[in-house]
Structure 1
Amino acid sequence: MQVTFLGTNGWYDSTTGNTVSALITARDYDIILDAGNGIAKADRYISQDKPVFLFISHFHLDHTEGLHTLVKFRFRKGLAICGQIGTRADLAGLVREPYTVPLDKVPFAVAVTELADGPHELPFKVTCLPLVHPVPCRGFRFEIDGKVITYCTDTGVCDNAITLARGADLLITECGLKPGQKSPDWPHLNPEDAIHIAKAAKVKRLALMHFGAEVYHTLEERRALKGQFEEICPGLIVSEDGMTVDV
């Protein structure tokens, strides 16, 4: 199984990358995490011959603006969009004329599934729980092909993030802030917070993404985190657009 980071910026595109999206390439399914502008690059990494699942954490535009590009794809086994309760109404308001091509007019079948908090079989197992953010936001835990991958962005430190990440092979979480920075009124994580969650959950490996574009101006600023924190977090992944890691 592999994870490819399609877009690793938070808030807006910049020279460091596109807004948030990642791809889990499993044996029988392709699973896309969020639909920032990075999602437009998904067809570089998938055949489009497997069923595709898209999980939306929340509807801030840096996680959804790439929905405008869905019409370019040819998902021959269809697309299942999954998110929290209310996702269907939010999609109907966002992915519609005159702004973009509506979902019922894209060239493949689309189904929308709203997930209550807790575990589900879709047909792989996924658990969703609320995170700490100014708008309703969900984190996801995927159990597939004998592996566990957890995706938690955007959030502050919270018990649900630790619960979702418990024993995961890979925790993908945000790093919107620089070391030592705090944002109590608009919760996000700094590297120390992300490492705290990973250690509390006893995950095997931590991957940082969703780097605030207004905070991390260069890739070098991101890359410095690996040297700064890898000793206390062995195997730390500091993601960049186009990076693929084996799980």
Structure 2
Amino acid sequence: MKLTVIGSSDAFGSGGRLQTCFHVAWSGGEFLIDCGATSLIGLEREGIDPNGISTIFISHLHGDHFSGLVWWLIHALHVAKRTVPLTVVGPEGIKERFEAAAEALFPGATANPRRFDLAFRTYRDFVPLDERGVRVTPFVVSHPSGATSYALRFEVDGKVLAFSGDTEWVETLLPTANGADLFICECFGFEMEARYHLNWRTIEPNLGKLGARSVLLTHLGPEALANRERMIHPIVAIAEDGLRRDI
């Protein structure tokens, strides 16, 4: 399994980074974890063909995590000429939120004839879901987004990849990360507290409890970026757009 960081910023592009998006290539295909508004830019930079991606898993319904689906649709229709099916998996309401956003930004977009099947599936809290050989378990976290927000635990090719989504500290992060080969963890702040987000001063003392083999910090805001040299631990690295890792 190979991870490519497509976007690693907070919602505001701090540090000139792109919004949240991770590409995973495995023996059975390719999928995305989250799809911020800049995702197509990042895929283009990395030379990744969107038509090779069969599934997009969305952690929560904030624009910097799902709104790239709108541009994805337009690109699939008019540029990529997509013909292969696409499944979007997300919180309850993902289909309705996507359609509302698409119609607000590109009126009539959802009514355009498609040459590909577009399907939406929704999580059930804490219940594993299988999609084209990928098993994902959604753990409820604390990050208001108009729908339930989730941390996601993926089981692929005998490996475990976990993602915190956006959240303040909650105990459900422990079963999400426990035993994971890689835990991608949002870290908006260094010691600054931002409600419904994590910071390094909270993450660092809990690394042992989380129990992941490796941790990749993402979603860094300005204060975290300014202190990145102080966020040091043997199992911890900081995400950069374009970073590639074998898992």
TM-score between both structures, scaled by the size of structure 1? 0.85
Query: How far apart, in 2, do the equivalents of 1:161 and 1:45 lie?
Result: 33
Specify the alignment match of 1:182 in structure 2: 193
Deviation at 1:195, TM superposition (A): 3.5
Deviation at 1:148, TM superposition (A): 0.0
Could you tell me the percent identity over the aligned residues?
A: 24
Specify the alignment match of 1:24 in structure 2: 24
Change (3 A) 1:215 1:171: same
Q: Secondary structure at the match of 2:192?
A: coil
Specify the alignment match of 1:62 in structure 2: 64
Q: Secondary structure at the match of 1:42?
A: helix
Query: How far apart, in 2, do the equivalents of 1:195 and 1:105 lie?
Result: 50
Aligned length: 235
Deviation at 1:215, TM superposition (A): 3.8
Q: Deviations over 1:173-199 (max 9, x none)?
A: 101112x2222xx21111232334542
Specify the alignment match of 1:42 in structure 2: 43
Specify the alignment match of 1:94 in structure 2: 101
Alignment partner of 1:116 is 2:124: yes
Residues 191-202 of structure 1 mapped to structure 2, 5 A cutoff: 191-202=200-211
Deviation at 1:131, TM superposition (A): 0.6
Query: How far apart, in 2, do the equivalents of 1:174 and 1:157 lie?
Result: 11
Q: Does structure 2 retain, via aligned residues, the 8 Å contact 1:162–1:197?
A: no
Equivalent residue letter for 2:89: C
Which 5+ residue runs of structure 1 have no aligned equivalent?
none
Equivalent residue letter for 1:131: V
Change (3 A) 1:238 1:107: farther
Change (3 A) 1:46 1:159: same
Specify the alignment match of 1:173 in structure 2: 185
Query: How far apart, in 2, do the equivalents of 1:202 and 1:103 lie?
Result: 46
Specify the alignment match of 1:84 in structure 2: 91
Equivalent residue letter for 2:193: K
Change (3 A) 1:195 1:246: farther
Deviation at 1:31, TM superposition (A): 1.7
Residues 110-189 of structure 1 mapped to structure 2, 5 A cutoff: 110-117=118-125, 118-122=127-131, 123-135=133-145, 136-178=148-190, 180-183=191-194, 186-189=195-198
Equivalent residue letter for 1:155: T
Specify the alignment match of 1:204 in structure 2: 213
Q: Secondary structure at the match of 1:9?
A: coil
Deviation at 1:126, TM superposition (A): 0.9
Query: How far apart, in 1, do the equivalents of 2:93 and 2:198 lie?
Result: 26
Q: Which runs of 4+ in 1 moved over 6 A?
A: none
Change (3 A) 1:191 1:80: same
Q: Secondary structure at the match of 2:209?
A: helix
Deviation at 1:97, TM superposition (A): 5.3
Change (3 A) 1:89 1:49: closer
Q: Deviations over 1:30-79 (max 9, x none)?
A: 12111113421225343456452111111111112322321324455321
Equivalent residue in structure 1 for 2:75, among 72, 76, 93:
72
Q: Deviations over 1:89-142 (max 9, x none)?
A: 222222225536328655532111111111122232110011111233111100
Q: Does structure 1 retain, via aligned residues, the 8 Å contact 2:9–2:17?
A: yes
Choose 7-16 or 127-136, whichever is displaced more: 7-16
Equivalent residue letter for 1:116: R
